[in-house]
């Protein structure tokens, strides 16, 4: 995005603002810790178990 059209919290220090945010690390800078994977794994397991339960109830 163009720095001249975007308001930065540091005023005219556009390069410093970008450098600080780029070096701070984003969601793709490191592998996700195990605690961040717990919720998606539990949601997937619940979805699969719910589907299996519905198939069992409907076809039994």
Domain boundaries, the chain: 33-60
pLDDT of 19 strictly over 70 = no
pLDDT digits 0-9 by tens, 32-58: 677 888 999 999 999 999 999 999 999
CA–CA separation, 56 and 49 (whole Å) = 10
Cα torsion angle, 21, 26, 30, 34, sign: positive
Contact by Cβ (8 Å): 10, 18: no
pLDDT at 56: 97
Distances in Å between the alpha carbon of 33 and those of 15, 36, 38, 39?
A: 31, 6, 9, 12
pLDDT at 34: 79
- Mean pLDDT, rounded, of the chain: 75
Task: Give me the mean pLDDT over the 23-38 stretch.
Answer: 70
């Amino acid at each position: 995005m163009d720095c001249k059209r975007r308001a930065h919290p540091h005023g005219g220090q556009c390069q410093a603002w970008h450098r600080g945010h780029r070096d701070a690390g984003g969601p793709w800078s490191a592998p996700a810790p195990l605690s961040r994977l717990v919720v998606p794994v539990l949601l997937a397991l619940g979805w699969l178990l719910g589907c299996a339960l519905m198939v069992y109830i409907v076809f039994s």
